[in-house]
Chain A
């Protein structure tokens, strides 16, 4: 018995041995790591050498030189000026801004809708609870791409052409070319209205800070909801009245399409709508579990204090539920951003679809896919950094 033990671990008996043994955990760990790194390196070398050979044979030059060349393709919608004569770099920027636009608006709307549905699932009203549960099950169990196709179909094939456009309110047109609404025309009034809006927001922030300090001192509270709404909405309204109205750019039917005004294209609308509805179903479940995680005693205590149901939710339940809700919601935000790449399937020119066109035109597959990955990794990292910062801010402060 003793002999066997000695044979198995000779290092433990007697003075420390200088030699290298395979039984030494340290040696083994180093060996394992060299083996893994070697294997991965070998595979990488094999793939890279093949790729270099293939590129050389097809005489595709690697590198990002193509970015300076004119792109030569149209992009349906853009936040910065762009034409086919502009460079690929410019086209990438347009695509990136389109991705960020749909992701940012989508995150805000999905959060609002998801929270509402999540709370509705816990409603004491049987109909409300069952309907929202049905909504969540239906949306979560059908692929997003299928839903996007359906929304896109409804928006392009279900709506009439521009000549028969629906006009629910004068100046607003709904047709298969999208939603047309009046936009601001060139008019100095708009500048002052925006300025008034900024002042309103700033004043509301300062006032609510002062209000909180005053509440700590005296216990008295101002009706901040009404005052804030008054400042943010009322001030711009006053300016508008003072100028006697501001000029609008009205959409009008010319030939086969509309000119003027602001457009919500069917592609953008379908993508945004699909992303919001799909993500909201997942957020609803997170919100529901977060609220259920707040112990019942907390709700009862808050009720016993005589708080209204709204205040119980806003002041007691939600702040505690948020700690459970924030981390999984962060992943949903990331998912929404990544899912916005499905735009390519319905023709919204997001970053992926611009990069895809570029790959097809230039053959720069590696650079194209690499830039898609780089862009999304950057967005993901930035978003999770932001959400983690928010998470630590609202985390339970234990002393």
Chain B
């Protein structure tokens, strides 16, 4: 019995040294000192690098802190105070933030885009929670987007009608990206199915579409939307500028989403397709019930990354003259009284873009860990 127990337990190296008193590890390998030794000064070249970086940081940081905070101007009646000061002119942002955020949307109606944005952001946050995933979410999104559209357009319930030409700033950026993704997504799934289908004509059409869109810059598609769409339509029929840009963005995003979804479709084992076929399900039944749910779960992290890219790409609509967040910041700079504070303007909207994209990228990492749990052993 004792023999067996001895064999079962793993050999214990500390058993031999048990005779002497336990000694604490040397000071140099624990605590702050130990951490410093292990992470900053572990080799001679790391010591050199650390010294170099600390020297560089010492050169840069005091100036940066001074420019950003201590000698910055926070409030000012006019730009003269800012020009006299050494630091950043946050008074510029204080003066222009409403224009940068809302563009030319009627000033006294700014509460409407604010509430619409809050609705969208709350829906985005709710969609991030896996407990809400499913059919109700689609209904919530339908209702939420309806409310947001109602608030933005107005024209009923005593709200003034606001033309899309007057939309701008963050609401426009969010509209273009959220509506763009919502509509590009089903199109992308269809294209991915088309590309993986065994019908040669459907497949060829999908491949040509996806490759042609992915091979050209987004700008050329936006140019097409702004200068060629009017030519495509019969005489007398016009679509407004925002809608044209939106269509261009949807056509663009669909091609990229299609490739992500295709990755998921190809990762599904062939047995799943065969099993679904053996059950006698039709093509649409097996796609909807068996294949797509599995494929989607596989590609959610890369999908989120595509969303981030798309959110950033909507800033390109400035080139065809739409007043999105980047354009309003640029337009605010053209005010002769406040010229030259471009660093403050770009830092301000850069921070907004960063907040959205960083949150999304963290979320994508979290999802990746969540979805890998089942595959970890």
Interface residues of A (CB under 8 A from B): 29, 32-33, 36-37, 40, 47, 50-51, 53-55, 57, 123-128, 131, 137-138, 140-146, 149-150, 153-154, 157, 338-339, 341-342, 344-345, 352, 356, 359, 365-366, 368-369, 372-373, 376-377, 380-381
Contact yes or no, B353 A142, CB < 8 A: yes
CB distance from A267 to the nearest CB of B (A): 15
Interface size class of B (residues with CB under 8 A): 35 or more
**Distance A339 CA – B313 CA, assembled complex (angstroms):** 10
Contact yes or no, B219 A342, CB < 8 A: yes
Cβ-based interface call for B127 (8 A):
no
Q: Which of A141, A341, A377, A380 has the most CB of B within 10 A?
A: A141
Cβ-based interface call for B234 (8 A):
yes
* In the A-B complex, the 8 residue pairs with the closest CB atoms: A141-B357, A126-B39, A341-B217, A33-B201, A143-B312, A153-B342, A338-B217, A365-B227
Q: Which residue of B lies closest to A360 (CB)?
A: B227
Cβ-based interface call for B98 (8 A):
no
Contact yes or no, B232 A142, CB < 8 A: no
Contact yes or no, A51 B231, CB < 8 A: yes
Interface residues of B (CB under 8 A from A): 39-40, 42-43, 46, 49-50, 53-54, 198-202, 205, 212, 215-220, 223-224, 227-228, 230-235, 308, 312-313, 315-316, 318-319, 326, 330, 340, 342-343, 346, 349-350, 353-354, 357-358, 361
With A54-B231, A352-B217 already in contact, the answer to whether A143 and B39 are too (CB < 8 A) is: no
With A47-B232, A137-B358 already in contact, the answer to whether A127 and B40 are too (CB < 8 A) is: yes
Q: Which residue of A lies closest to B360 (CB)?
A: A141
Option from A146, A154, A381 in Cβ contact (under 8 Å) with B315: A146
Please indicate the chain B residues that have their CB under 8 angstroms from the CB of A40 in the complex: 205
Please indicate the chain A residues that have their CB under 8 angstroms from the CB of B361 in the complex: 137, 140-141
Contact yes or no, A36 B205, CB < 8 A: yes
User: Could you show 18 A-B contacts with beta carbons less than 8 Å apart?
Assistant: A29-B198, A53-B235, A123-B46, A125-B42, A127-B40, A131-B53, A142-B354, A144-B312, A146-B315, A146-B326, A149-B326, A149-B346, A338-B216, A342-B219, A365-B228, A376-B215, A380-B215, A381-B215
Please indicate the chain B residues that have their CB under 8 angstroms from the CB of A140 in the complex: 357, 361
Option from A124, A356, A369 in Cβ contact (under 8 Å) with B42: A124
Please indicate the chain A residues that have their CB under 8 angstroms from the CB of B234 in the complex: 50, 53
**Distance A368 CA – B228 CA, assembled complex (angstroms):** 10
**Distance A356 CA – B222 CA, assembled complex (angstroms):** 12
**Distance A50 CA – B237 CA, assembled complex (angstroms):** 11
Q: Which residue of B lies closest to A380 (CB)?
A: B215
**Distance A341 CA – B217 CA, assembled complex (angstroms):** 7
Please indicate the chain B residues that have their CB under 8 angstroms from the CB of A32 in the complex: 199, 202
With A33-B200, A339-B217, A376-B217 already in contact, the answer to whether A126 and B40 are too (CB < 8 A) is: yes
**Distance A123 CA – B52 CA, assembled complex (angstroms):** 15
Contact yes or no, A366 B228, CB < 8 A: yes
Please indicate the chain A residues that have their CB under 8 angstroms from the CB of B219 in the complex: 341-342, 344, 352
Please indicate the chain A residues that have their CB under 8 angstroms from the CB of B315 in the complex: 143, 145-146
